[in-house]
Structure 1
């Protein structure tokens, strides 16, 4: 350990004993991480030469890629040499840059999140990245990242910031309360997502584009030619069926591998007083911290296939965690688990006897909401049918038959999905929570604290006005807007008034009867 690191540890543990602590550096091991970045393009270069020979266009493309990685390595090395950081009694300070110098400072009382992440190469050299967020919307520059400190430094700095922030107190490991931890029986839920299939198409598209840029025709490769010679005479319908089965199997395998990578070593625990910590990851190790006082509620998500299997996922709704997309990805409290387990975790995290997402009696929406869902489904079906119908009238009558068969099969599917979406709609109030549910392909039930609602967002499309419906959203500070979709005007306004009395009243014009 360098002299600067030792000095930082001394000042960190003194809790403000030194008024002006020394500046610390990133670990010198980061240089080895930077050099390892060149392994990827060099390996790709060797594989390309072995498969395609000395293709001039491929060599030029890979040479350009190698130069780009050399530049990135140089920039990363310069960051290692110029970056300094320190923690004072009141602020976290970071300075970096040689030609363009940057100096950032964040008050301790503005720190909203302290996360630790270690990528595979960083873990190989005993390093980690510490990310300190302030929770300001759209202010990425207010987020400090220390990429390339030792894991020991990361743990100590995280604890120091939590203690000085007043979010908790130092505790031993035996004092932490485990709420949930990995059960490998949950692996059965891993294939029940569409992300694996989507990643297969993305990987194939990316590979095709790369080969095309290198002037290599994938259809002319020896492996592809061999497959074409062996199976080129099979019927088209059989080839399509085999392709669908292979895509589904590969997609399920990718989803399972993603689950293993993301959730190995998973543990959700209440750390000390007022801190939740989620640790997980096989290749990339992550540790996310959520302050209990910033917890506004939970979201129970049930994608269709997972719902049919009796599973669900649970996420925290918490303020001060930057934009909504990042908030969603960082606040996953559980992997896909049995629904009862997700409800148990929700009740434990919210310190309630039961999860409000399950105990709240939801109000059903009017039948006009069902008609809207049927009409939208029919519009989508009409667009799908129009494609083969138009081509059939232009090219071949076979596609016309495909169009009417698609319409015949698709009509009951639309009706079933529309009814399922309608049954999913609901809203209600239980104690200090308002609860909203919607969705069919991914049903989401949100329970948000009523005292966290700072406003209502009301919208009405032309077709909603004709049906006497509106969409009303509960806006919460630093979290987002949770919408009650396609609710009747009277029921929606009454719900808003009951959930947060007098917040909406100044904006309502009452029409006298008679």
Structure 2
């Protein structure tokens, strides 16, 4: 780049006005229906004109500059704002193309830094550039190249159509149902629809209300399950269709998306590990997902995705390939012993006892019905199953310079962290852990969520594990015998 101030691609003039109109569409529809005597149409047209003007104004008031040391963006009309990012602080450059942008050959460029990702900011955004220019800019900012690389060296994973079967087990459709219901409720409220206009709907609801309760419950459960499954599959396809994980010259590149495409580049020199997560339903379907533990990306940020929900063996293979260490993702882990086992059961039964006792007291003293505490007795066998599963999922290991922690039941996580990325240790012991001779060992790092914890490890094993992972780091605090 020559350091000159440049404008965004002129084709964005066909994109941003449409985006502004879509964003304000519920308000415009509400104004159209609420207005009286033709005023609704007038104000709706005024709002439409303002939305288009706002989209056009963004192009005229936004400029950017790429120098050898900084990336700068200026925007705003009445209040001018300049964002500046030192190039040595750039961690990621993401390219995103929504459907209209794809038609026009444009991409949205998000330049991220570690600080921006932790605070929830998107960093510096250039919306929109020509796709070829955006790709060239990504190569230059991440690799100091002025020309795109020749190609990707190795494809580590590609979406298989059969993986769509894991969509319903992600339950992402629940959020979609909430959005749809909320939007419809707001729309009906804004346009002030008359209930008498929906006689057929009222008749249907009347018949449903007259049905037995058990029929309504079963029907609602089945309908919800079907809707969640269908919407979850749709969300999976939209987010991960054409998914591709490839390794290039010192980078990992993730491409995904059906209507809106996204390309994320992760530098291998910033990679500190990977995580395999298995939510309970996904684990029951023998599936898992993977994410990267890397500096500059939050642990749960969508940019860290290495693999969407997929067969468990594929997840383990991807982690092995990414970290070049087959043992880290598949080796057996060291169990935490009988005291950790007992602690899982103790906590489960204390919770069940507390809930049941409270309901019994309410039954005896407050004239509550007896069935709540009788139903609460199910917490004892359910708690025993959960406690056993939580213990079986506990484990740790140190292999090939990789620290491995595994824990969780509702969401089982296997975290593989390179010892080179560990910058400190935290030893935490509660009152009950001290009595049991256990402690929680936390490895602190600049990558991912910045801390990864192995819970309820025998104290002597935890100290030995930390000392072996980072020899010399604990030396001033240890007493050798």
So what's the TM-score if we normalise by structure 2?
0.87
* Correspondent of 1:358 among 330, 354, 365: 330
Conserved 8 A contact 1:299-1:317: yes
Q: Aligned partners of 1:358 and 1:82: how far apart in 2?
A: 53
Specify the alignment match of 2:408 in structure 1.
Answer: 439
Correspondence list, 1:381-400, <5 A: 381=352, 399-400=369-370
Specify the alignment match of 1:4 in structure 2.
Answer: none
Q: Aligned partners of 2:226 and 2:187: how far apart in 1?
A: 25
Q: 1:151 to 1:142 in 2, by over 3 A?
A: closer
* Correspondent of 1:453 among 422, 434, 437: 422
**3-state SS, counterpart of residue 136 of structure 1:** helix
Q: Aligned partners of 2:48 and 2:345: how far apart in 1?
A: 52
For the pair 1:86 / 2:70, whether they are aligned, the reply is no
Q: Aligned partners of 1:465 and 1:63: how far apart in 2?
A: 72
For the pair 1:278 / 2:257, whether they are aligned, the reply is no
Specify the alignment match of 2:455 in structure 1.
Answer: 485
Q: Aligned partners of 1:248 and 1:196: how far apart in 2?
A: 10
Q: Aligned partners of 1:92 and 1:103: how far apart in 2?
A: 10
Deviation at 1:35, TM superposition (A): 2.2
Q: 1:330 to 1:221 in 2, by over 3 A?
A: farther
Conserved 8 A contact 2:139-2:149: no
Q: Aligned partners of 1:296 and 1:181: how far apart in 2?
A: 23
Q: Aligned partners of 2:49 and 2:171: how far apart in 1?
A: 37
Specify the alignment match of 1:340 in structure 2.
Answer: 313
Specify the alignment match of 2:294 in structure 1.
Answer: 318
Conserved 8 A contact 1:218-1:224: no
- Residue range with higher mean Cα deviation, 274-283 or 387-396: 387-396
Q: Aligned partners of 1:246 and 1:277: how far apart in 2?
A: 39
Q: 1:449 to 1:400 in 2, by over 3 A?
A: same
* Correspondent of 1:204 among 181, 201, 213: 181
Conserved 8 A contact 2:394-2:406: yes
Conserved 8 A contact 1:176-1:269: yes
Q: Aligned partners of 1:191 and 1:437: how far apart in 2?
A: 25
Deviation at 1:409, TM superposition (A): 2.7
Deviation at 1:291, TM superposition (A): 0.3
Specify the alignment match of 1:420 in structure 2.
Answer: 389
Deviation at 1:142, TM superposition (A): 8.8
* Correspondent of 1:192 among 139, 154, 169: 169
Deviation at 1:250, TM superposition (A): 0.7
Conserved 8 A contact 1:45-1:62: no
Specify the alignment match of 1:5 in structure 2.
Answer: none
Deviation at 1:447, TM superposition (A): 0.9
For the pair 1:106 / 2:85, whether they are aligned, the reply is yes
Q: Aligned partners of 1:494 and 1:45: how far apart in 2?
A: 65
**3-state SS, counterpart of residue 172 of structure 1:** coil
Specify the alignment match of 1:330 in structure 2.
Answer: 303
Q: 1:390 to 1:340 in 2, by over 3 A?
A: same
* Correspondent of 1:38 among 21, 38, 50: 21
Q: Aligned partners of 2:186 and 2:292: how far apart in 1?
A: 38
Q: Aligned partners of 1:387 and 1:212: how far apart in 2?
A: 42
Deviation at 1:201, TM superposition (A): 4.3
Q: 1:41 to 1:294 in 2, by over 3 A?
A: closer
So what's the TM-score if we normalise by structure 1?
0.82
Q: 1:69 to 1:292 in 2, by over 3 A?
A: farther
Contiguous gaps of at least 5 residues in structure 2: none
Q: Aligned partners of 1:63 and 1:506: how far apart in 2?
A: 76
Q: Aligned partners of 2:153 and 2:47: how far apart in 1?
A: 46
Give CA deviations for 1:450-495 in whole Å, capped at 9, x if unaligned. Answer: 1211101222233333433221100112331110112222222222
* Correspondent of 1:255 among 225, 232, 237: 232
Conserved 8 A contact 1:177-1:270: yes
* Correspondent of 1:155 among 130, 135, 140: 135
Q: 1:410 to 1:142 in 2, by over 3 A?
A: closer
Contiguous gaps of at least 5 residues in structure 1: 1-11, 13-19
Specify the alignment match of 2:149 in structure 1.
Answer: 171
Q: Aligned partners of 2:213 and 2:40: how far apart in 1?
A: 37
Conserved 8 A contact 1:38-1:66: no
Specify the alignment match of 2:344 in structure 1.
Answer: 373
Q: Aligned partners of 2:45 and 2:338: how far apart in 1?
A: 61
Specify the alignment match of 1:287 in structure 2.
Answer: 263
* Correspondent of 1:473 among 425, 442, 453: 442
Deviation at 1:414, TM superposition (A): 1.3
Deviation at 1:385, TM superposition (A): 5.5
* Correspondent of 1:225 among 180, 188, 202: 202
RMSD in angstroms over aligned alpha carbons? 3.5
Q: Aligned partners of 1:200 and 1:62: how far apart in 2?
A: 31
Q: 1:39 to 1:356 in 2, by over 3 A?
A: closer
